Amino acid sequence: MNDTLELKTEERTPCEVWTRVMGYHRPVSAFNAGKQAEHAERCYFKEQPRGSLNRRNRRVAA
């Protein structure tokens, strides 16, 4: 049995995306077309823990 909830487009609440530009926050919808395209091409990554926190975990595990 498939119990997933599906909403129609008109039932969804629009989400406004903001980003930090030159030290302050602005909604992406206020960008010009070129800046919106640049924002859409951004790559996101997940930073791995490094440094003293990582060394502390190795010491505890040893």
Q: What is the pLDDT along the chain (62 residues), one digit of tens a residue?
A: 568 888 898 988 889 999 887 889 999 999 999 999 999 998 888 888 877 655 555 666 55
- How many CB atoms sit inside 10 A of residue 48's CB? 6
Helix, strand, or coil (residue 9): helix
* Closest among 14, 43, 11 to 27, alpha carbons compared: 14
Q: Where are the domains of the chain?
A: 15-42
> pTM (2 decimals)?
0.48
- Output the pLDDT for position 58: 60
- Output the pLDDT for position 61: 58
Residue 35's Cβ-count burial label (10 Å; 0-12, 13-18, 19+) is: middle
What is the SS3 string spanning 30-61? HCCHHHHHHHHCCCCCCCCCCCHHHHHHHHHH
